[in-house]
């Protein structure tokens, strides 16, 4: 696996959005830095921890003009539960096709749970990839502090 390259345009994805409507990536983040979190599902303890950590730091991320988006193969009910449990204020998509999305993102799949493995991306304001972080199991994720450090360092150049 090679993954999506830094500097490449992030592929267009459209999915159902918790709360209604469609979530379009990277369109949702254009003009700002964007964090795209493809997570395993509401059943995953580490995914819950990661999304909750982004919510806790959302104000600081927003103050740096960084938008956050998350999505998974979860059905609507489980995605809604994830949003409610962690009071997520950023857009969350659900019901993505595992095989198609893994191919598009060049990521891993979790055959046992029929889900994506964690694939995290930091996008530049033009929708190109600044950084990709792929996991082949439950560990290995982009943290909110990583994002803040990278964006601040990039802006200071």
For the chain, 157 residues long, the average pLDDT of each consecutive 10-residue run is: 90 98 98 98 96 98 98 97 97 97 95 92 98 91 97 94
Residue 26 within any structural domain of the chain: yes
pLDDT in tens, 94-128: 999 999 999 999 999 998 988 999 999 999 999 99
Q: Exposure of 124 by Cβ count < 10 A (0-12 exposed, 13-18 middle, 19+ buried)? A: buried
Residue 34 within any structural domain of the chain: yes
Instruction: Kindly report the CATH number assigned to the domain that includes residue 19.
Output: 3.40.30.10
Residue 24 within any structural domain of the chain: yes
- Rounded Cα–Cα distance for residues 88 and 94 (Å): 14
CB count, 10 Å around CB of 81? Answer: 14
pTM: 0.95
The structural domain count of the chain equals: 1
Residue 32 within any structural domain of the chain: yes
Compute CA distances 113 → 3, 43, 69, 148, whole Å: 21, 9, 22, 31
What domain range includes position 61?
A: 13-156
Rg of the chain taking only CA atoms, in angstroms: 14
Residue 143 within any structural domain of the chain: yes
Residue 2 within any structural domain of the chain: no
Predicted local distance difference test score (pLDDT) of residue 2: 74
Residue 7 within any structural domain of the chain: no
């Amino acid at each position: 696996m090679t993954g999506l390259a830094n500097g490449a345009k992030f592929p267009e994805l459209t999915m159902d959005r918790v709360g209604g409507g469609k979530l379009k990536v990277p369109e949702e983040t254009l003009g700002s830095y964007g964090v795209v979190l493809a997570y395993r599902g509401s059943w995953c303890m580490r995914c819950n921890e990661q999304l909750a950590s982004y919510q806790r730091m959302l104000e600081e991320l927003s103050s740096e003009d960084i938008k956050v988006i998350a999505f998974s193969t979860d059905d609507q009910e489980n995605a809604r539960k994830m949003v409610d449990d962690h009071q997520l204020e950023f857009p969350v998509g659900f019901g993505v096709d595992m095989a198609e999305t893994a191919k598009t993102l060049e990521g891993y799949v979790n055959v046992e749970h029929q889900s994506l493995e964690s694939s995290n991306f930091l996008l530049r304001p033009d929708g190109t990839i600044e950084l990709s972080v792929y996991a082949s199991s439950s560990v290995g994720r982009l943290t909110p502090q990583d994002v803040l450090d990278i964006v601040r360092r990039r802006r200071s150049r």
